[in-house]
Amino acid sequence: MDLSLESILEGQLLLVDKPLEWTSFQVVNKLRWALRKKFKLKKLKVGHAGTLDPLATGLLLICTGKMTKKISEIQALEKVYTGTITLGATTPSFDLETPFDNHFPIDHITNEQLHQTTKLFTGVIEQYPPLFSAIKKEGKRLYEYARKGESIKIESRKIIINRFDLTQIKLPKVSFYVSCSKGTYIRSLANDYGKALQSGSHLSELRRTGIGQYNVDNALTPKQIIERLNGISP
């Protein structure tokens, strides 16, 4: 990762391992501030190529300088996730950001059903985004309606899930591997999966491990990037 002034201004793609509970914007702001301070810049273009929810960890691609012009191109790349779905309870946000709102039986669910049901969610599918999301509708973000308890009609979107594999089953938790297209909400997938099993479920853990050819194994945390940056002579 080249953190020299020339590279940052010309356009650099920073592979960041986003910590738990950080928003994607917090990562962008933290790194923009650190870069501007280090090189005494009045302004610097910095943006991310694909949001991660606060309760998700993993790969976040940060673009600087002229590389920000390629954000749309990078956002279109396939995403890879690992995580855990917990069966037997749902939440309004489809993850642990909000408290449980309903509980469901899971005694009827077999391992075979768990594996077979993943096939319903592979290929081109129609998916409804969560109400707790940043998608805009009539000038407001959906989560603004959700937090006020207002109802709003949400349109489904075509997405592609190339792989949805279960890697471990320890009910009520199932671990998974998913590779999918831009615009896929893993929270919605977790919620829909529970419904298809005649139960309910929520996303209890999520990590993005890949975006196109980029892998989280080659990423650094914001703290590590700033430490490396501070070790460079101005």
Tens-digit pLDDT profile for residues 190-224: 999 999 999 999 999 999 999 999 999 999 999 99
Contact 11, 62 (CB under 8 A): no
Q: What pLDDT does 148 receive?
A: 65
Contact 100, 91 (CB under 8 A): yes
Q: What pLDDT does 178 receive?
A: 98
CA-CA distance, 71 to 1, in Å (whole number)?
A: 18
74-99 pLDDT, tens digit per residue, is 999 999 999 999 999 999 999 999 99
234, pLDDT greater than 60? no
63-72 pLDDT, tens digit per residue, is 999 999 999 9
Q: Would you please indicate which residues are annotated as catalytic (active-site) residues?
A: 53
Average pLDDT over all residues of the chain: 93
CA-CA distance, 189 to 201, in Å (whole number)?
A: 10
| Domains by residue range for the chain, with CATH | 5-75+216-230 (3.30.2350.10), 79-211 (3.30.2350.10)
